[in-house]
Amino acid sequence: MTDKEQFKVREEPFYQAQGNEVALYEAAYAARLPVMVKGPTGCGKSRFIEYMAWKLARPLITVACNEDMTASDLVGRYLLEANGTRWLDGPLTTAARIGAICYLDEVVEARQDTTVVIHPLTDHRRTLPLDKKGELIQAHADFQLVISYNPGYQSLMKDLKQSTKQRFTAFEFDYPDAALEISILVSESGIDEATARQLVSVGAAARRLKGHGLDEGISTRLLVYAATLIKGGVAPVDACRMALVRPITDDRDIRDTLDHAIDATFA
């Protein structure tokens, strides 16, 4: 299996468009412009990128960024073996070589001195210097860089520099409106529309508490989890407490408020 085949998205991911984001992404890819996707946790950012990679028939290499990630984790390093050393490309280097979409998920979690390595790939140069190897890679014609992050978790310590932000085109995602979210739950879990509507109403109640005890509202992803449990035979109240409330808060008052909303909805 070739590198490209290894990273292909083989089956169409389920994705419900909220607007004209599919056409806009296609235009960005046609021009090989780097893309930034912003939005709250679980609103469909990663699913959107996976869907677009499938639609464009491009390999997709995803990197889950974290605070311990170094530049070497992205570009590659020498490995010591019995017969000497061997260079191993990192995911960013692999994507640049084979013409994949490289998706850096939650890029603000990475150290700022790490993210600067992407800069030469996001302007007219489209190059990636491998300083340790003494090599300058010219990115494949099909290569594209995509990053995502959650603005709700921004801080002075975890934010992108303006010099990085202004290298990207950007999409701003949010949770779908009620009708679309109901459709997503029905399609993703096979649950009936009436129950999906009740779950979405619980999600809406929790999102109104954002900034008033909750850092984030209930995501569409968690609503799908609850719907899947219900479809599998779990009682709706139990499924909601397990999938919607317990994961997002340890505050007793907030938990009780959401539990009461669930009881009222599924009474």
Summarised one tens digit per residue, pLDDT across range 69-91 is 999 999 999 998 888 889 999 99
Q: What is the pLDDT of residue 210?
A: 84
| Backbone φ and ψ of 7, nearest 5° | -105, 10
Residue 76 · residue 88 · CB < 8 Å: yes
Q: Are strands 84-89 and 76-81 parallel, antiparallel or unpaired?
A: antiparallel
Q: What is the pLDDT of residue 89?
A: 95
Confidence of residue 154 (pLDDT cuts 50, 70, 90): low
Query: Which 3 state secondary structure label does DSSP give 215?
Result: coil
3-172 homologous superfamily: P-loop containing nucleotide triphosphate hydrolases (3.40.50.300)
pLDDT of residue 42 exceeding 70, the answer is yes
Identify which of 111, 20, 16, 117 has the alpha carbon closest to the alpha carbon of residue 67: 111
Percent over 70 (pLDDT), the chain: 97
Summarised one tens digit per residue, pLDDT across range 186-211 is 999 999 999 999 999 999 999 998 88
Cβ-proximal residues to 209 (8 Å cutoff; 6+ apart), any chain: 217, 254, 257, 258
Query: Domain residue spans in the chain?
Result: 3-172, 178-265
Residues 151-176, mean pLDDT to the nearest whole number: 82
Tell me the CA distances in angstroms from 127 to 34, 122, 123, 138, 157, one per residue in order: 13, 8, 9, 5, 28
Q: At what angle do helices 193-207 and 220-231 cross, to 10 degrees?
A: 140
Separation of CA 218 from chain center: 16
